[in-house]
Structure 1
Amino acid sequence: MKILILSACLIMMAASTAQAAARTPGAGLDKADANHDGYVTRDEFKALRAAQFARLDRNDDGVVSLSEFPRLAKSTRSKAQALKAVITHADRDGDGRVARAEFVDGPAPLFDRADRDHDGRLSREEVAALRDQLESLK
């Protein structure tokens, strides 16, 4: 459950607008359907994570760290706590920074949990069910 919450926080933080994401957990999954066929494949999900990483990597150095978010790093607000948790969770080598490969190619527990029929793609119904699950966690 902790991994699911962290992944959800990451998707919410990286959505195009923070307000829209906060109102609609998992909104990024809706945007991940690049070919608009009604399904989010694992590759589309990975592309979403790559785009999220690009937005989070403010100085384009290939890593994300709290130093790129000085105000959030000092804050105890929920967004700051979510960012800290995401960095801690995704930081596989424990160096305090999240490399692109750690983030984009790392485990995808949110996708795995949502893929109820284990076919490697998320239907609209699976995305809606995940969104409902995340809403209930608020």
Structure 2
Amino acid sequence: MRAIILLCLLALPVAAHAQTTGQPAGQPTGQPPSQPTGQATAPPAGPAPIPLPPWFIEIDTAKKGEVARADFLKYRMKSFDDLDLNKDGKISLEEFLKLAEPPHSSDQPGGPSLEDRRNRLRAAFQNLDLNSSGFIERAEAEAPIQSEFNQFDTDRDNKITEPEIRLIMQRLQQRQMAERQQAEAERRKGLVALNELMDMQMRDADKLDKNNDGKISQQEYLLAAGPADGAQSEGLLPYDIRKKLVMIKFNDIDSNKDGIIDRPELTAYALKEFLETDLNKDRFLDQEEVKKFQEAEAAKTQELIKKMMPPPAPPAPPKPAQPQRAPAPQQGAPPTGLPQGTR
């Protein structure tokens, strides 16, 4: 981590120089691209070669296709020499903080402020000051640069050749691409892209295409309504209602109204549903967007069911109450009062 921070800081003037010169990456400063006059350029036989980093071209002024250790160290330490204002072979914190100011760094829209850059440099200074002397000494600054050279010098001959640096740059690009793909995969967890939605709908349609002709007839599509009767239909809506709901969906997908759903129509319908569901227009469907779409579809279906269901029969009027009659006295019944024999 310490080496990475220092290398990034020491490379700042080089990056600024490349921007001000306007030279493309891999082209020597002040020299136009070499092209033989009067000769046609042959088309490339294969993939374009990995471009050399600008620092390699700027160091290899003799165009020998190699960079020696001493030249690499001198080039990388130029920023150290620029920061060492009093030329005492070490950089103080005050000198180091100059990296936060022009020409080394400047304010960018949306970028860190001057104070933020200084705070980051203070933390980096503490990491680079290995002996806690309050200074970054020359040996401390050279150590990560020597380590960087060792990584490039794969055959340990104290020079970096074009094949070595191209191979390392290729591996770096591959690693960065893999990291970007992994980050994108992490970001896309739980998200559904348009092609994925189409694939899911095509797989569902293939289950209905019983004769495997790539098309779905009305009769085939009616299978989505479920069983008409039997134990499997228990708890479901009446079959007639389910048939009507399925045919409404069929007619929505069957755009040319020929009674057949083909793959272009399925694709167009999937696109329509995707655009309606993608509320934030980021070209992906998240769980919240899918949930809202499903809730809206469920509400529409309930409204359709209400219209299709027959109205409930009005309750039968209550029967009028019959008047109660007093029972007639029985013949020979004793008079009311105390029983006989008690008087």
CA contact (8 A) 2:6 2:141 kept: no
State yes or no: 1:81 paired with 2:120: yes
Give the secondary structure class of the aligned counterpart of 2:160.
Answer: strand
Q: Which residue of 2 aligns with 1:12?
A: 11
Cα separation, 2, equivalents of 1:127 and 1:114: 6
Q: Which residue of 1 aligns with 2:65?
A: 38
CA contact (8 A) 2:91 2:135 kept: yes
Q: Which residue of 1 aligns with 2:129?
A: 91
Structure 2: where are the runs of 5+ without partners? 26-52, 102-113, 181-343
The AA in structure 1 aligned to 2:57 is D
Q: 1:93 to 1:76 in 2, by over 3 A?
A: same
Superposition pairs of residues 1-138 of structure 1, within 5 angstroms: 2=1, 5-15=4-14, 17=16, 20=19, 27-33=54-60, 35-68=62-95, 69=97, 72=100, 75-77=115-117, 81=120, 84-85=123-124, 87-104=125-142, 106-107=143-144, 108-131=146-169, 133=172, 136=176
CA contact (8 A) 1:12 1:28 kept: no
Higher helix share: 1
Q: Using structure 2 for the length normalisation, give the TM-score.
A: 0.31
Cα separation, 2, equivalents of 1:36 and 1:83: 39
CA RMSD of aligned residues (A): 3.9
**1:121 Cα offset (Å):** 0.9
| Larger relative contact order, structure 1 or 2 (CA cutoff 8 Å, min sep 6) | 1
> Rg: which structure is higher?
2
Q: Which residue of 1 aligns with 2:313?
A: none
Q: Using structure 1 for the length normalisation, give the TM-score.
A: 0.65
Give aligned-pair identity as a percent: 24
**1:112 Cα offset (Å):** 1.0
**1:80 Cα offset (Å):** 6.5
Structure 1: where are the runs of 5+ without partners? none
Q: What is the total number of aligned residue pairs between the two structures?
A: 132
**1:9 Cα offset (Å):** 0.7
